[in-house]
Amino acid sequence: MIKPEALLRPTPAGLYCPPGDFYVDPVRPVDRAVITHGHSDHARAGHGAVLATPETLAIMAERYGAGFAGATEAAAYGKPVHRDAVEVTLVPAGHVLGSAQAVVAWKGLTMVVSGDYKRRRDPTCAAFEPVPCDVFITEATFGLPVFHHPPDSGEIARLLRSVAQFPERSHLVGAYALGKAQRVICLLRAAGWDKTIFVHGALERLNRLYEDHGIDLGPLEPATVATKQDFAGAIVIGPPSALQDRWSRRFPDPVQAFASGWMQVRARARQRGTELPLVISDHADWDELTATVDELRPGELWITHGREEALARWAQLHDIKARALALVGYDDDEEDG
Amino acid sequence: MRAFAELLDRLSLTASRNAKLTLVADYLRETPDPDRGWALAALTGDLSFAAAKPTFIRKAVEDRMDPLLFRWSYDYVGDLAETVALVWPARPGANREPELAEVIDALRGATRPEVQQLIEGWLDALEPTGRWALLKLMTGGLRVGVSARLAKQAVADLGGVPVSEVEEVWHALHAPYEDLFSWLEGRSDRPRPDSPGRFRPTMLAQALDEAVDFGRLDPADYAAEWKWDGIRVQAVNEEGVRRLYTRNGDDISKTFPDVLQVLDFEGALDGELLVMGDDGVASFGDLQQRLNRKTVDAKLMAKHPAGIRAYDLLAEGGEDTRVLPFRDRRVRLEAFVGRLATPRIDLSPLQPFETWAELAALRASPPPGDPQIAEGLMLKRWDSLYEAGRPKGPWFKWKRDPFLIDAVLMYAQRGHGKRSSFYSDYTFGVWTQVEGKRALTPVGKAYFGFTDEELKLIDKFVRDNTLERFGPVRSVKAQPHFGLVFEVAFEGLQRSTRHKSGVAMRFPRIHRIRWDKPAGEADELATLERMLAQMEKVSAPPAP
């Protein structure tokens, strides 16, 4: 059996595959890249050639402009492509629209780079598919036993209850522009909120992209002063950074909400001045991480970023060989999550 | 339990008083008896049972999970109750979630070992927010930023009555307060507030507006006395029931057994709680050593003996004297205090005056002794009845002018709620010598005293002149040739080991923004030290 490091190895630029001569989610410009999903810490501009799902390529083009890479190749979910002798298959990861795990196979060895993923249902993207493998390379953003994301319908119900309790105030929901914002909107629609939702300008292009991919977001309007809208009783969605910026001053006595897995920890909510924390995450929580590893029982578990030491400890307690790669450059911060 | 947990969760992150009132009132409206009554008792601090020790909870969780994973989790979360609530391994098929009343009922009858067993079963049945609320309830002290006063205000809002009506009956009631809710919802009469030892809602004064009020008020209508610098209390002894209350009706009897002991009378006094040494009244700092303690030891009581300086008489021998005019109450008070054979209850003397100018002179230069550290003067209409709340007209407080210094803005922190997009909490400093160089040392923090327009300007200054960012805090450029000077007003100074500068301000606020003043000309720490020495000289015993 060949060693896994012969197929994929951590380097400062990211995971590198020598026999296929490509990187997965490189953090600096490289000749050949496989991109798992469109979040900016994983999908950067300036690579020579990019292999990704059609949705991820569309997201990258929307964010960076059409010339974001020298060449692009779209790989649909489940359709194997070759990089020299290496077979690469993109499989749904359930993280955001177009997100994929990269299944890398060579000489009988299969390694799965999960990218970022979650296991629960998300109306805005295809669900995670477990792939049996020799080495499972996982993220661990929420790799501590404190993270148990509650059902998202319950979190949305808390938001709607607050809107009913404080009809004179507006509710500002901080949500990452790619994925989280559209998921929150879909969840609100599923909970019966059919009024216009106001959105920050930074969300508009990605909202349109999601709608172009068949995800119905219902009536949206820009939250601009020009609309002279009375925002009392309204739900407004913006990127997390805008919530504490001067942008938020146009709203009447806003209730600051924030949709993020980090909101599980009260101190994090308090530190940001979040009044209504909504624990809605696009990452796997502790239970999903451990259940996934348990389901796959890989020969080896590699952990890319996040809280590697706790997940490694769990794997050790469950007789699974684990290795923390400590890759740098992937945001473990609260904007995403 | 779920609704109560959700309430605590929201309260713990809500800064605005109005929003808190809405949350509590909505909960009380929507939750059935007896759960809501127990929740109210928890919020007002009127619940007691054998509490669980945090060490037990830690041990219980470590029996169920890898101690190393627990330790990492605890390191990350930083709060034991919250960590346990989050990491407690869920047990599928555990019991149904308990109702709050069930939890309280069981706890009130349980011994400590029984309590521990109960908690484990409940933790299995609850979800994380419920577990967090349960553990907060169990280990004592909810600490969700709700005072007993605020909870009572929410109760009053529920029934559309003034909070004083709730306060007056409060000490005649017992959790879960079904008679209280029944009255507020119009299903029965108001409970009778006549239990012995009860609290009588306090009468408060309006701030005097010198520019307006002296023109329209007749000095002959008013009595004047010093506004002593302690805490306002009500001391009651009725049919052997002795109580000491704050002005909001919080029972602080346990904190001041020495005061309770000297209440050898039948009636209710309104007065100022002060530390009384052999040489007169001590500073507020000394009183602070005695406040907010659940228990008190003899040494502390001997070091800082507390007593009452009486302002008013609310009841005497079963008679309600609040319906009498101040003039008559005062005569009764003087006789009442005169009969007491203790130096620990004395009389707040009236200050005779003919004209407002005469009174102004007294306020500007108080005579030697206790008045030197008074907070200012009180004016009370001779014909005023003792009314609950803050009626307009009968009583005025006329505080002495605050102390002022010029300080330089050093750090700004983002505010909460309405102000969360503004840098609205300011740490300011004065100049001192550090290793031979002139440098700023922080001396206080203030977040009010400016208008919304001024806030916008300061916010812009902070954003334009940020040096570093630490989470919600920014350090601001502050050098002798560049910086923003605040004229800071404060009520007094105390020595402090917690502040690097060694001094702590009482009630600091921004008095004026000195856009015009060069930062280098702000005050020196030495100025504050001189002020402090002056204040200490006044309250120290006179030289032999």
What is this model's ipTM?
0.93
Which of B12, B76, B421 minimises the CB distance to A249?
Answer: B421
Q: Between these two residues, B195 and B425, which has the higher pLDDT value?
A: B425
Give pLDDT, residue B419. Answer: 80
Q: How confident is the model at residue B128 (pLDDT cuts 50, 70, 90)?
A: very high
Residue B540 lies in a domain: no
**Interval A84-107 mean pLDDT:** 97
Give pLDDT, residue B50. Answer: 67
Give pLDDT, residue B267. Answer: 97
Checking if the pLDDT of B459 tops 90, the result is: yes
Structural domain boundaries of chain A? 4-146+283-324, 152-278
Checking if the pLDDT of B418 tops 80, the result is: no
Q: How confident is the model at residue B488 (pLDDT cuts 50, 70, 90)?
A: very high
Give pLDDT, residue A229. Answer: 63
Q: Between these two residues, A5 and B373, which has the higher pLDDT value?
A: A5
Residue B439 lies in a domain: yes
Topology of domain A4-146+283-324 in CATH is: Metallo-beta-lactamase; Chain A (3.60.15)
Q: Examine the domain organization and report whether B267 and B379 are in the same domain.
A: yes
Residues within 8 A of A (CB atoms), B 126-155 only? 127-128
Residue B8 lies in a domain: no
* Pick among B22, B69, B97 to test the A interface (most A CBs inside 10 A): B69
Is the CB of residue B539 less than 8 Å away from at least one CB of chain A? no
Phi-psi region of B155 (alpha: psi -120 to 50; beta: other; left: phi over 0): alpha
Q: How many whole angstroms separate alpha carbon A51 and alpha carbon A98?
A: 12
Inter-chain touch A271–B12, beta carbons under 8 Å:
no
Q: Examine the domain organization and report whether B411 and B335 are in the same domain.
A: no
Inter-chain touch A145–B19, beta carbons under 8 Å:
no
**Interval A166-181 mean pLDDT:** 95
Q: How many whole angstroms separate alpha carbon A21 and alpha carbon A15?
A: 11
**Interval B334-350 mean pLDDT:** 95
Q: Examine the domain organization and report whether B302 and B386 are in the same domain.
A: yes
Checking if the pLDDT of A152 tops 50, the result is: yes
* Nearest-by-CA chain A residue for B128: A148
Residue B219 DSSP label = G
Residue B31 lies in a domain: no
CB A203 within 8 A of CB A178: no
Q: How many whole angstroms separate alpha carbon B489 and alpha carbon B492?
A: 9
Residue B343 lies in a domain: yes
Q: How confident is the model at residue A189 (pLDDT cuts 50, 70, 90)?
A: very high
From the list A35, A165, A194, the residue with the least C-alpha distance to B19 is: A165
Residues within 8 A of A (CB atoms), B 287-326 only? none
- pLDDT tens-digit map of B437-452: 999 999 999 999 999 8
Please state, as a whole number, how many other Cβ atoms lie within 10 Å of the Cβ of residue A226: 6
From the list B380, B375, B325, B331, the residue with the least C-alpha distance to B351 is: B380
Inter-chain touch B86–A148, beta carbons under 8 Å:
yes
- pLDDT tens-digit map of B26-53: 999 999 999 999 999 999 988 877 666 7
Please, what is the Cα angle at B157 between B156 and B161, to 5 degrees? 55
- pLDDT tens-digit map of B168-204: 899 888 999 999 999 999 999 999 888 889 899 999 9
Checking if the pLDDT of B541 tops 70, the result is: no
From the list B211, B155, B214, B217, the residue with the least C-alpha distance to B183 is: B155
Q: CA separation (Å) from A329 to A17, A26, A311, A324, B396?
A: 18, 9, 20, 15, 63
- The whole-chain average pLDDT of chain A stands at 93
Give pLDDT, residue B406. Answer: 96
Q: Examine the domain organization and report whether B431 and B517 are in the same domain.
A: yes
* Pick among B9, B13, B422 to test the A interface (most A CBs inside 10 A): B13
- pLDDT tens-digit map of B383-395: 999 998 889 899 9
- Number of separate domains in chain B: 2
CATH number reported for the structural domain that contains residue B360 in this entry? 3.30.470.30
Q: What is the 3-state secondary structure (H, E, C) of chain A?
A: CCCHHHCCEEECCEEEECCCCEEECCCCCCCEEECCCCCCCCCCCCEEEEEECHHHHHHHHHHHCCCCEEEEEECCCCCCEEECCEEEEEEECCCCCCCEEEEEEECCEEEEECCCCCCCCCCCCCCCCCCCCCEEEEEECCCCCCCCCCCHHHHHHHHHHHHHHCCCCCEEEECCCCCHHHHHHHHHHHCCCCCCEEECHHHHHHHHHHHHCCCCCCCEEECCHHHCCCCCCCEEEECHHHHCCHHHHHCCCCEEEEECHHHHCHHHHHHHCCCEEECCCCCCCHHHHHHHHHHHCCCEEEEEEECHHHHHHHHHHCCCEEEECCCCCCCCCCCCC
Q: Which residues of A are less than 8 Å from B68 in CB distance? A: 313
Give pLDDT, residue A331. Answer: 64
Q: Examine the domain organization and report whether B388 and B415 are in the same domain.
A: no
Full domain range(s) for residue B499: 403-535
Residue B265 lies in a domain: yes
Q: What is the DSSP string of B301-343?
A: HHHS-EEEEEEEEEEETTEEGGGS-HHHHHHHHHHHHHH---T
- pLDDT tens-digit map of B75-113: 999 889 999 999 998 776 667 889 999 999 888 888 878
In this chain, the answer to whether the domains covering A4-146+283-324 and A152-278 adopt an identical fold is: no
Q: A152-278: which CATH number, 3.30.70, 3.30.950, 3.40.50, 3.30.1330?
A: 3.40.50
Return the CA Rg of chain B: 26
From the list B172, B342, B151, the residue with the least C-alpha distance to B243 is: B172
Give pLDDT, residue A227. Answer: 60
Is the CB of residue B77 less than 8 Å away from at least one CB of chain A? yes
Q: What percent of chain B has pLDDT over 90?
A: 66
Q: Examine the domain organization and report whether B336 and B478 are in the same domain.
A: no
* Pick among A246, A247, A263, A266 to test the B interface (most B CBs inside 10 A): A266
- The whole-chain average pLDDT of chain B stands at 91
Q: How confident is the model at residue B118 (pLDDT cuts 50, 70, 90)?
A: confident
Q: Examine the domain organization and report whether B257 and B372 are in the same domain.
A: yes
Q: How many whole angstroms separate alpha carbon B26 and alpha carbon A162?
A: 11
Phi-psi region of B292 (alpha: psi -120 to 50; beta: other; left: phi over 0): left
Is the CB of residue B389 less than 8 Å away from at least one CB of chain A? no
Q: Which long-range contacts (CB under 8 A, 24 or more apart) does A85-92 make?
A: A85/A19, A85/A20, A86/A7, A86/A17, A86/A19, A86/A20, A86/A22, A88/A20, A88/A22, A88/A34, A88/A51, A90/A36, A90/A52, A90/A53, A91/A129, A91/A131, A92/A125, A92/A126, A92/A127, A92/A128, A92/A129
Give pLDDT, residue B542. Answer: 44
Residue B416 lies in a domain: yes
Q: Which residues of B are less than 8 Å from A248 in CB distance? A: 420-421
Q: Examine the domain organization and report whether B524 and B414 are in the same domain.
A: yes
Q: Examine the domain organization and report whether B314 and B446 are in the same domain.
A: no
Q: Examine the domain organization and report whether B355 and B470 are in the same domain.
A: no
Out of B367, B399, B431, pick the residue that ends a domain: B399
Q: What percent of chain B has pLDDT over 70?
A: 97
Which of these ranges, A43-52, A137-146, B41-50, has the smallest mean pLDDT? B41-50
The DSSP H or E segment spanning B403 is: strand B403-414
Give pLDDT, residue A270. Answer: 87
* Pick among B24, B71, B76 to test the A interface (most A CBs inside 10 A): B76
Q: Examine the domain organization and report whether B379 and B410 are in the same domain.
A: no
Give pLDDT, residue B301. Answer: 92
- Strand, helix or coil for residue B470: strand
Give pLDDT, residue B528. Answer: 93
**Interval A244-260 mean pLDDT:** 88
Residues within 8 A of A (CB atoms), B 409-448 only? 414-418, 420-421
Q: Examine the domain organization and report whether B470 and B422 are in the same domain.
A: yes
CATH number reported for the structural domain that contains residue B484 in this entry? 2.40.50.140
Give pLDDT, residue B51. Answer: 67
Query: Nearest C-alpha of chain B: how many angstroms from A230?
Result: 17
Please state, as a whole number, how many other Cβ atoms lie within 10 Å of the Cβ of residue B150: 19
Which of these ranges, B227-236, B400-409, B474-483, B526-535, has the smallest mean pLDDT? B526-535
- pLDDT tens-digit map of B246-270: 998 888 999 999 999 999 999 999 9
Give pLDDT, residue B206. Answer: 93
